[in-house]
Amino acid sequence: MMATNRLLKPLHSNLKSQIQNGISCVIILGFGTILFTSNSSFANDAPPLIAQNTNKIDEFNSVGTEPFWNVTVSKSGIIYSSPNAKKQTFPYVTPIKAAGRTADIVRVYRLQGKPNSMLIIKKESTCRDGMSDKQYPYSVTFILDNTVLEGCAEKK
């Protein structure tokens, strides 16, 4: 941690100085490589380096067996239900995407109020729920406190 702070301190000072001098655009090209420009049209012509949020919410239905469980993801929230447990609802959060991957490959939803809990949805060629012949395009890992459940998912 100390080494990281020593590396980032000069970078932070340089960035702060550049902003105070009227720089209107900062493009991070890689670790330690930053392009400062006051020409915002240059930045607008450059291809996006980071995926932009389109505010589109993909809704999912996730299922698992042994034990039976279900997790739905929608703009109204992330809802876990199971015959063996009390239904739990979490606010919708924007998923974290895997670095270097498109948004549809891997998405991680952190469950608010549960620091070690998350829903991981990963694109697969096929996923089977173990009880039927139904095929799903996504596999799912659902972690709630100390419980880890695996299953399959599809977009609603």
The yes-or-no verdict on residue 40 having pLDDT over 50 is no
- Mean pLDDT, rounded, for 123-138: 89
| 50 falls within a domain | no
| Residues counted in the chain | 156
Distance CA 77, CA 92 (A): 4
| 141 falls within a domain | yes
CA 52 remoteness from chain centre? 13
Residue 93 sits in the same domain as residue 28: no
Residue 81 sits in the same domain as residue 151: yes
Residue 80 sits in the same domain as residue 104: yes
Q: What is the dihedral of CA 23, 26, 29, 31, to 10 degrees?
A: 90
- Mean pLDDT, rounded, for 31-39: 38
| 135 falls within a domain | yes
Residue 25 sits in the same domain as residue 101: no
| 144 falls within a domain | yes
Domain count, the chain: 2
Residue 88 sits in the same domain as residue 26: no
- Judged by average pLDDT, the poorest of 24-33, 46-55, 142-151 is 24-33
Give this prediction's pTM: 0.63
Residue 18 sits in the same domain as residue 66: no
Residue 99 sits in the same domain as residue 41: no
Distance CA 7, CA 24 (A): 24
Structural domain for 38, as ranges? 2-45
At residue 61, what are phi and psi to the nearest 5 degrees? -125, 120
Nearest alpha-carbon partner for 90 in 62, 104, 109, 106: 109
Q: What is the dihedral of CA 119, 149, 106, 95, to 10 degrees?
A: 0
Residue 71 sits in the same domain as residue 146: yes
Nearest alpha-carbon partner for 107 in 147, 135, 134, 141: 141
- Mean pLDDT, rounded, for 108-118: 95
Nearest alpha-carbon partner for 124 in 140, 110, 102: 140
pLDDT of 112: 95
Residue 38 sits in the same domain as residue 64: no
| 110 three-class SS | strand
